[in-house]
């Protein structure tokens, strides 16, 4: 279906309709903002069981909205608590099929006292809407929903659109993985559109050609049958926290090199061409360190550039250490067990399953001989690299050029979206291009989305739909 597409052929269709989506976004600005705010009010935190009902509510809200926009098929699939919202727009014979992926679940909002306005009371300050999920991913995916509304043409959109919006992205996508394993037909489309990642910089849209994968696990070390008095047994009883700290410290060298045997074997370094392109991107290490990271130094393997360290190399991070006594005051105890939550970000061609085995083996080898080590897998994702030469990539580039005045730059991202490989499993090009900004603070306090970015999203994705529809 993508043969013989030339820029000239595409261009002929652009200009007459360009203004439609722009006018739509301008005329409906207030309503578009109010609807997004309603969506953001629902605390659909998928990582916290206490919010299961809120996840369900967010799914129902979205389903109702898609019905209201004229989708003849809208279903909640595969789970009572975290259903996948599946919707199909009106059938338009002979036009391409575009599948929109996104997620309605969000990360926990803590630490709460760092929010300037409550995370689930979306608040506009300056040119931004502040709320948990504003950019990740409710705001971004909802801009696509509104783009669909913009081009829906009273029931005859320019293309066949389907939505697959899940409620477990932040907790590993289990439900959607199961669904896609059974329903391969869902990804049998001409293009998949994912808006769950930011621009490279303000004014610089991006097409994501790579995502890192993830291997998230808990390492538990046990040294005693039970906790002991540190006065009566201190000096002879092995301390689980001490054993855990040694174990963790043994897994990474001060240089930043991860000491897990075999870990780097599968790593494919980005091509010289790709690295040269990265080197041409505007990037100030100083600004990045002081403005975004907020640290005295950037860590990691210093012989690689910061961008390569984030986009092209694996990591090992400790997220939290549990066990022992952490309450107020003092308790003289020798802890019997201690657990660390850790994760590795993975790059092509690493596999989450293989890395889990390597981590488990390395953790056991790194622990003192008297410690029992258990490594429990929590969730994971394989890394992604995409070929971005199929026509839909040229069309999203064109849409950005028209709306933003600049073509998207091809970049990778350090983040992970577990189902992306499964979305492309049917051979469809997966177009990953979001409209957030790098300082949107996803997963952090005061998450936001720019009002103008959100409205630009409606226009860019609306244009993309129109341009896709004009493909013969």
Residues catalogued as catalytic:
105, 169
- Work out which of 197, 251, 359, 420 binds ligand BES, going by CB under 6 A: 197
Least CB distance from residue 197 to Mn ion, whole Å? 8
Asked if 196 interacts with Mn ion (CB under 5 A), we say: yes
First to last CA, the chain: 7
CA distance 465 to 472: 13
Helix or strand run (H / E) with residue 98: strand 97-103
466 near ligand BES, judged by CB under 6 A:
no
Closest CA to 385 of 424, 436, 328: 424
Burial (CB < 10 A; 0-12, 13-18, 19+), residue 157, is buried
Rounded to the nearest whole angstrom, what is the least distance from the CB of residue 132 to ligand BES in the complex? 12
Residue from 89, 96, 312, 418 touching ligand BES (CB under 6 A): that is 418
Q: Collect all residues with Cβ–Cβ distance below 8 Å to 100 and sequence separation of at least 6.
A: 141, 144, 145, 148, 161, 162, 163, 164, 165, 192, 193, 194
Determine which residue in the list 192, 342, 381, 394 makes contact with ligand BES, applying CB under 6 A. 381
Burial of residue 20 (number of CB atoms within 10 Å: 0-12, 13-18, 19+): middle
Nearer to ligand BES, 211 or 396 (CB): 211
Residue 157 vs 210, nearer CB to Mn ion = 210
Which positions from 223 through 252 interact with ligand BES, judged by CB under 6 A? none
* CB-closest chain residue to ligand BES: 415
Q: What angle do CA 87, 437, 341 make, to 5 degrees?
A: 80
Helix (H, G, I), strand (E, B) or coil at 216: strand
Check binding of 447 to Mn ion (CB under 5 A): no
- In the list 24, 63, 129, 136, the residue contacting Mn ion (rule: CB under 5 A) is 136
Name residues contacting ligand BES, limited to 331-360 (CB under 6 A): none
Cβ proximity to ligand BES, 379 vs 459, nearer residue = 379
Question: With binding defined as CB under 6 A, does residue 416 bind ligand BES?
Answer: yes
CA atoms of 167 and 58, how far apart (whole Å):
9
Residue closest to 332 by CA, chosen among 212, 231, 189 = 231
Choices 275-283, 308-316, 414-422, 463-471; region in contact with ligand BES by CB under 6 A: 414-422
Smallest gap, in angstroms, from Cβ of residue 99 to Mn ion? 17
Q: Per-residue b/e over 398-420, b at no fewer than 16 CB within 10 Å?
A: bbbbbbbeeebbbbbbbbbbbbb
Comparison of 24 and 120: residue with beta carbon closer to ligand BES: 120
Which of 137, 404 has the CB closer to Mn ion? 137
Burial zone of 322 (CB within 10 Å; 0-12 exposed, 13-18 middle, 19+ buried) = middle
Identify which range of 53-61, 136-144, 151-159, 323-331 contacts Mn ion by CB under 5 A: 136-144
Q: Is 137 in the site for Mn ion (CB under 5 A)?
A: yes
Q: Which is nearer to ligand BES, 94 or 320 (CB)?
A: 320
> Which stretches of the chain bind ligand BES, using CB under 6 A?
136-137, 169-170, 172, 196-197, 211, 214, 379, 381, 413, 415-418
């Amino acid at each position: 279906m993508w043969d013989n597409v030339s820029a000239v052929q595409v261009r002929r269709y652009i200009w007459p309709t360009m203004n439609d989506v722009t006018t739509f976004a301008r005329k409906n600005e207030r309503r578009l903002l109010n609807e997004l705010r309603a969506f953001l009010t629902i605390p659909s935190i998928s990582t916290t069981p206490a919010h299961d009902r809120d996840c369900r509510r967010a799914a129902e809200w979205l389903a109702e909205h898609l019905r209201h926009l004229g989708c003849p098929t809208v279903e909640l699939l595969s789970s009572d608590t975290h259903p996948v919202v599946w919707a199909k727009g009106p059938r338009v014979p002979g036009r391409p099929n575009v599948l929109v992926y996104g997620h309605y679940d969000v990360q926990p909002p803590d630490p709460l006292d760092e929010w300037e306005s409550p995370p689930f009371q979306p608040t506009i300050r300056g040119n931004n809407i502040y709320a948990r999920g504003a950019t990740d991913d409710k705001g971004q995916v909802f801009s696509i929903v509104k783009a669909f509304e913009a081009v829906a043409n009273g029931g005859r959109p320019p293309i066949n659109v389907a939505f697959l919006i899940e409620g477990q992205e932040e907790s590993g996508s289990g439900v959607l993985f199961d669904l896609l394993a059974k329903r391969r037909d869902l990804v049998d489309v001409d293009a998949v559109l994912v808006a769950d990642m930011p621009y490279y910089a303000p004014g610089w849209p991006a097409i994501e050609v790579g995502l890192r994968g993830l291997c998230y696990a808990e390492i538990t070390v046990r040294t005693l049958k039970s906790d002991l008095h540190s006065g009566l047994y201190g000096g002879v009883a092995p301390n689980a926290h001490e054993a855990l700290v040694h174990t963790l410290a043994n897994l990474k060298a001060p240089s930043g090199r991860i000491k897990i045997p075999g870990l780097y074997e599968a790593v494919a370094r980005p091509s010289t061409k790709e690295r040269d392109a990265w080197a041409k991107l505007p990037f100030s290490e100083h600004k990045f360190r002081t403005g975004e990271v907020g640290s005295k130094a950037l860590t990691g393997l210093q012989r690689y550039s910061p961008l390569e360290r984030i986009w092209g190399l694996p990591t090992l991070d400790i997220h939290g250490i549990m066990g022992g006594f952490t309450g107020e005051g003092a308790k003289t105890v020798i802890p019997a067990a201690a657990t660390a939550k850790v994760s590795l970000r993975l790059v092509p061609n690493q596999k989450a399953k293989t890395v889990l085995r390597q981590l488990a083996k390395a953790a056991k080898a790194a622990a003192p001989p008297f410690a029992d080590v258990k490594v429990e897998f929590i969730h994971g994702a394989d890394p992604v690299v995409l070929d971005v030469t199929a026509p839909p990539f040229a069309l999203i580039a064109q849409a950005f050029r028209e709306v933003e005045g600049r073509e998207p730059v091809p970049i990778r991202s350090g983040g992970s979206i577990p189902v992306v490989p499964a979305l492309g499993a049917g051979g469809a090009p997966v177009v990953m291009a979001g409209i957030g900004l790098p300082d949107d603070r996803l997963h952090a306090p005061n998450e936001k989305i720019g009002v103008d970015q959100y409205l630009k999203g409606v226009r860019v994705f609306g244009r993309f739909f129109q341009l896709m529809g004009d493909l013969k």
